[in-house]
Structure 1
Amino acid sequence: MLMHNPPHPGEILKQLCLEPLGLTITEAAQALGISRKSLSAIVNGRAGISPEMAIRLSLAFDTTAASWLNQQVMFDLWKAEQHRGNLKVKSLVTVQLAE
């Protein structure tokens, strides 16, 4: 079941990891071994969590990579579902009526 309007994982990262530890984006980016620009894009919802980033976050914050990827998938799927009605798809499943 899809969560209603799930937060972007960057929002979770900011609220549950960076802010409680008093970390700036620059400090966290250095610890993660990435650029400040890359982390800023994630925190501000302009970029998603890749598998490699999920591993980096899991190592830095003692979480699981799967939890970060699951958050990203739920966010992406919810966003895509908002446009379901606009998709031009023909059903390939035929319904056979009972004889």
Structure 2
Amino acid sequence: MVMFDPPHPGETLREDVLPALGISIAELARRLGFARETLSRIIHGRAPISPDLAVRLERAGIGRARTWLGVQIDYDLRQAERRPQPPIEPFARLSLG
């Protein structure tokens, strides 16, 4: 079931992962080999989780890369749906199978 307003994956890192591990953003960044500033932007919802970060989180034992990217995609799609879009003229039904 798709949530109506999915959270940014950084929110999960900030509210669930960091407290569970008992570490700071700086320590998580160091252990993942990631720039602290970049990780901070992600954790505060100002940047997306990249495939590289998703793989590093998985290798660190913090979820699966595909799950992190799926959460990011859900968030990104919801943000796109909320933005004004130009009028789109639908094509006739295509059979792509």
TM above 0.5: yes
Give per-residue Cα distances to partners, 1:18-42, cap 9 Å, x unaligned: 1121110100000000111010010
- Ranges of 4+ aligned residues in structure 1 off by more than 3 Å: none
Cα 1:62–1:2 change in 2 (3 A) is closer
Partner of 2:26: 26
- Write out aligned runs for 1:1-99 (5 A): 2-83=2-83, 86-93=85-92
Give per-residue Cα distances to partners, 1:48-83, cap 9 Å, x unaligned: 011111001111134210010000000001111113
The CA distance in 2 between the partners of 1:15 and 1:44, in whole Å, is 10
Question: Which ranges of structure 2 fall in alignment gaps of 5 or more residues?
Answer: none
The CA distance in 2 between the partners of 1:93 and 1:57, in whole Å, is 43
Q: Among the aligned pairs, what percent are the same residue?
A: 42
Letter in 1 for 2:7: P
Instruction: Tell whether the 8 Å contact from 1:48 to 1:72 is kept in structure 2 after alignment.
Output: yes
Report the TM-score, using the length of structure 1 for normalisation: 0.85
Letter in 1 for 2:88: V
Instruction: Tell whether the 8 Å contact from 1:3 to 1:78 is kept in structure 2 after alignment.
Output: no
The CA distance in 2 between the partners of 1:86 and 1:49, in whole Å, is 24
The CA distance in 2 between the partners of 1:38 and 1:27, in whole Å, is 13
